[in-house]
Homo-oligomer: A and B are copies of this chain.
Amino acid sequence: MNSEQLFRNILAKKSFLCIGLDTERLKLPKYLQHDKDALFKFNKEIIDNTHDLVIAYKPNIAFYEAEGRIGWEALEKTVEYIRKKSPDILIIADAKRGDIGNTSRMYAKAFFETMDFDAVTVAPYMGEDSIRPFFDFEDKWTIILALTSNKGAEDFQYYYDSFNHQYLFERVLNLTKDWGDIDNTMFVVGATQSQQLVDIRKNIPDHFLLIPGVGAQGGSLNEVAAFGMNNQCGIIVNSSRDIIYADSGRKFGKAARAAAKKLQEEMQILLESYF
């Protein structure tokens, strides 16, 4: 799926919503917690109730690895189920991987071949040869961490080169944007301030951004749209816990749908005003 197809899906579904599947056994409805297959069953219910409202799902790999081989099985089944249910939905492995070349190649293989993910998030610390192997897989996306929305982002992402007047995360954007192109590269931008988005858009006007932290973590959808959108929409906004844990009882699927629907309707208004 290239950026144009992604844009078409966004217009067709009137949504740029991604739901993060941070599926944690202890947070599931009580009746599911002792079910060996709980993670998949929970995800299936979420997917059944929301697939028409989203353009992407983003399983957070840590939550599956925490369960060992059972979790890995739930992850594989979840990817297969999304693909079957709605082939045009972008499936993102939120994995934040990055290692020397031959190791990154194995991570790429894990997510792009062994499983059928469309995209994987990667951490840039180890540089070019740690990211290049992900680009070798056709029709797949590499989503590079640039600026994250957590407090720790200040520690290193804002490391400042006063000679070139450039933060580390800007250096990451400037250097990595040419390794791939706008059809295989996105950036994680956890922008909580509009000025940041304005500055980042000067650097990378055409790339899609994956934006976490709208909702519970406090970002404003209107601001993100106003300062982050480009002529292909160019933003995918993620929400995880606010949607999947909207209700802790048996009707969690319906509650998740209501929460997702609310966001999708806000997105529809924004899309109709911009396109």
Check A204 for interface membership: any CB of B closer than 8 A: no
Report Cα–Cα, A106/B21, bound state, in Å. Answer: 14
A98 close to chain B: CB less than 8 A: yes
Query: CB within 8 A of A97: which of B62, B63, B154?
Result: B62
Question: Do B63 and A106 have beta carbons less than 8 Å apart?
Answer: yes
* Chain B residues whose C-beta falls within 8 Å of the C-beta of A66 in the assembled complex: 106-107, 109-110, 113-114
- Asked whether, in the complex, the Cβ of B62 is within 8 Å of the Cβ of A103, the reply is yes
Given contacts A66-B107, A107-B65, contact A128 B114 (CB under 8 A): no
Stoichiometry, copies per complex: 2
- Which residues of B have CB within 8 Å of A148? 100, 126
B-side contacts of A161, CB under 8 Å: 159-162
A171: Cβ under 8 A from any B Cβ = yes
Q: Which residues of B contact A103 (CB under 8 A)?
A: 22, 60, 62-63
Are A128 and B101 closer than 8 Å at their CB atoms? Answer: no
Asked whether A125 and B156 contact (CB < 8 A) given A106-B24, A162-B162, A168-B168, the answer is: yes
Whether B62 lies near A106 (C-beta < 8 A) is yes
Chain B residues with CB below 8 A from A65, complex form: 106-107, 110, 114
Nearest residue, chain B, Cβ from A154: B127
- Residue A157 at the chain B interface, CB threshold 8 Å: yes
* A151 B128 Cβ-Cβ under 8 A: yes
B contact residues around A150 at 8 Å (CB): 100-101, 126-127, 129-130
Residues in B with CB closer than 8 Å to A145 are 125-126
Binding site for B on A (CB under 8 A): 22, 24, 60, 62-63, 65-69, 71-73, 76, 94, 96-104, 106-107, 109-110, 113-115, 123-131, 145, 148-157, 159-163, 168, 171-172, 175
